């Protein structure tokens, strides 16, 4: 076990051209396991059920992750208390517990710890820059106290708020990564991916990219747009992508949360492990060296990324001991027709069926077009009332 501070840092690794593999989507993974509540999506499980968070960290480490990201998504005080969400732990307790768990598991391998902050209800409610930065500062105080290796500002729909986050994170002296949850159309105010990236680099981000909201290939395309703009501006940065594990060809600017299936009926869209290998290869070819995942990702998806890039990394992850490359383990199957599938070309050419003969292949996004500044997006500490829900139901019913 390497002592804290003895491992090579994130910028040292990326600067040497190494592939850094991120982890997956803790919020969705732990919701499916019964430790996160869909709706608020807050990470109190780090304090309530540390054994569950610890185990998921270990599974991602074993699958090949180089980064244990603290389970602090939506762990700002304003989000923890939003819309009647009642917790028995404070934001500080949750953030501290998450840091301790990430460090414990990171020290079991050659992994780094990243402390993460996310977009805030305060920004959506049009609070000032100083007010929003104070919220980030509370989380940052914990990250500095716990001496995380680097910081990530992730899941921002508006580049302005992401800039504020980067500025706050940069003041710590730690390396800073910044990812927006945007696609090729840009942020929710129409700022292009390229301009977003340039603004984030100028704000102080060392690593820029995207996470969540869109499928892997869409995210690779978006980061390629960012990279081209940063280089055109004469700036330097490293690039990362942590996409969804869901196919989203029908998504608009808002991404998968605009799909009618969000969040409880997305399973038919999940990428196979072989599609994850294709994503890893395309990301690498695009010059992206920090390659991970977000919502929908399970450890086997990250293992697929690690296996695809095993030659570049120089090793396979520990979890590959129980997984034959390209299905080679099927050579041991009792049924001959299954043994016939123990080859790469079979899985690369396969067009998986959904088993749902009456279902469409794509959906129509809701497209409400609501973003910062709209009354419907103003947040509140009190629980949502039935009177507040009624016009939302009526608007949704009128659409369908």
**Binding annotation:** 212, 294-295
Cβ–Cβ under 8 Å, residues 13 and 7: no
- Give just the sign of the alpha carbon dihedral 188, 189, 195, 198: negative
Going by C-alpha positions, the residue among 242, 253, 255 that lies closest to residue 283 is 242
Q: How far is it, in rounded angstroms, from Cα 183 to Cα 217?
A: 10
| Residue 335 CB burial class (10 angstroms; 0-12, 13-18, ≥19) | exposed
At residue 116, φ and ψ (nearest 5 deg) are -120, 140
**Angle (deg, nearest 10), helices 299-308 and 50-63:** 20
Put residue 3 in one of left, alpha, beta given phi > 0 → left and psi -120 to 50 → alpha.
Answer: beta
The helices-and-strands tally (H runs, E runs) of the chain is 17, 8
Measure the N-to-C terminal CA separation of the chain; round to a whole number of Å. Answer: 56
DSSP 247: -
Q: How far is it, in rounded angstroms, from Cα 196 to Cα 166?
A: 12
Q: How far is it, in rounded angstroms, from Cα 333 to Cα 325?
A: 15
- Give just the sign of the alpha carbon dihedral 21, 168, 36, 57: positive
* Bind-site residues for Zn(2+): 212, 294-295
Strand partners, 151: 115, 176
At residue 397, φ and ψ (nearest 5 deg) are -65, -35
Q: How far is it, in rounded angstroms, from Cα 37 to Cα 5?
A: 35
Q: How far is it, in rounded angstroms, from Cα 84 to Cα 357?
A: 41
Going by C-alpha positions, the residue among 176, 185, 200 that lies closest to residue 290 is 176
């Amino acid at each position: 076990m390497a002592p804290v501070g003895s491992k090579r840092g994130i910028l040292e690794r990326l600067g040497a051209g190494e592939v850094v593999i991120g982890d997956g989507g803790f919020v969705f993974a732990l919701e499916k396991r019964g430790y996160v509540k869909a709706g608020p999506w807050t990470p109190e499980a780090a304090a309530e059920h540390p054994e569950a968070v610890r185990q998921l960290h270990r599974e991602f480490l074993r699958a090949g992750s180089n980064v244990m990201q603290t389970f602090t998504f939506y762990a700002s005080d304003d989000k923890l208390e939003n819309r009647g969400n009642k917790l028995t732990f404070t934001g500080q307790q949750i953030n501290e517990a998450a840091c301790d768990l990430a460090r414990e598991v990171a020290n079991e391998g050659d992994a780094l710890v990243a402390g993460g902050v996310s977009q805030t209800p305060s920004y959506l409610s049009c609070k000032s820059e100083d007010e929003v930065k104070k919220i980030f500062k509370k989380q940052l105080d914990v990250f500095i106290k716990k001496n995380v290796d680097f910081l990530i500002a992730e899941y921002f729909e508006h580049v302005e708020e992401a800039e504020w986050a980067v500025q706050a994170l940069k003041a710590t002296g730690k390396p800073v990564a910044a990812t927006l949850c945007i696609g090729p159309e840009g942020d929710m105010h129409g700022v292009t991916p390229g301009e977003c990236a340039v603004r984030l680099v100028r704000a102080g981000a060392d690593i820029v990219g995207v996470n969540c909201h869109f499928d892997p290939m869409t995210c690779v395309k978006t980061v390629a747009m960012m990279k081209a703009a940063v280089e055109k501006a004469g700036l330097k940065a490293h690039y990362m992508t942590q996409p969804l594990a869901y196919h989203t060809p029908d998504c608009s600017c808002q991404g998968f949360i605009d799909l009618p299936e969000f969040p409880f009926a997305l399973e038919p869209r999940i990428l196979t492990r072989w599609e994850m290998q294709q994503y890893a290869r395309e990301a690498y070819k695009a010059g992206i060296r920090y390659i991970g995942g977000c919502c929908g990702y399970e450890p086997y998806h990250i293992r697929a990324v690690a296996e695809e890039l095993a030659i570049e990394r120089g090793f396979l992850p520990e979890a590959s001991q129980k997984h034959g490359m390209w299905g080679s383990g099927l050579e041991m199957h009792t049924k001959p027709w299954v043994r016939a599938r123990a080859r790469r070309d079979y899985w690369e050419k396969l067009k998986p069926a959904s088993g749902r003969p009456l279902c469409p292949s794509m959906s129509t996004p809701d497209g409400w077009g609501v973003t910062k500044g709209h009354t419907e997006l103003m947040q509140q500490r009190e629980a949502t009332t039935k009177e507040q829900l009624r016009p939302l139901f009526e608007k949704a019913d009128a659409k369908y």
